Amino acid sequence: MSYDLAVWVGERPADDAAAALCFTDLYDRYIDTEEPAVSPVERIAAFVAALLERWPDLTEDEDDISPWSTGPLIREARGPLIYFPMRWSMAVEASAYAAGLLRRWASTASTHRHGNCGPDDGPRAVGPLLACVDQIV
């Protein structure tokens, strides 16, 4: 079992329905497409880099400490979206860390959540530029 997290650059969705529509649109446009992959925008690349400062990329994890279920992690980022799986056993810690990053980056701390943004209803994120949804698969 894995825990999937999506983070994107954009305006704060008005509600859960708007967040779901936004995510679906971005996913269809950037991930589930036959078009060539679009490089991640600077903000998403910086987010991935910050995650990798905390834990190693799965491709470099010799001590089995990385929460990521895929690697290189940056390959999961396309344009303004990253949608990536993490180990269920580390999802609480890793999603809380991701939420903390987003909080620190948000100059005006407005929050929106779609469902839970943490498998234990733990910390959730977002500011005006980044939003998250989650899915347990």
Quote the pLDDT of residue 121. 37
Quote the pLDDT of residue 69. 95
Q: pTM to 2 decimals?
A: 0.78
Query: Whole-angstrom Cα distance, residue 99 to residue 46?
Result: 14
Quote the pLDDT of residue 137. 40
Give the type of residue at 69: S
Please give the DSSP secondary-structure letter assigned to residue 20: H
Q: Which of 31, 2, 6 is nearest to 113 (CA)?
A: 6
Q: What is the block-wise mean pLDDT of the chain (137 residues), using blocks of 10 residues?
A: 86 82 93 94 93 96 95 96 93 90 63 39 37 47
Quote the pLDDT of residue 107. 43
Quote the pLDDT of residue 54. 97
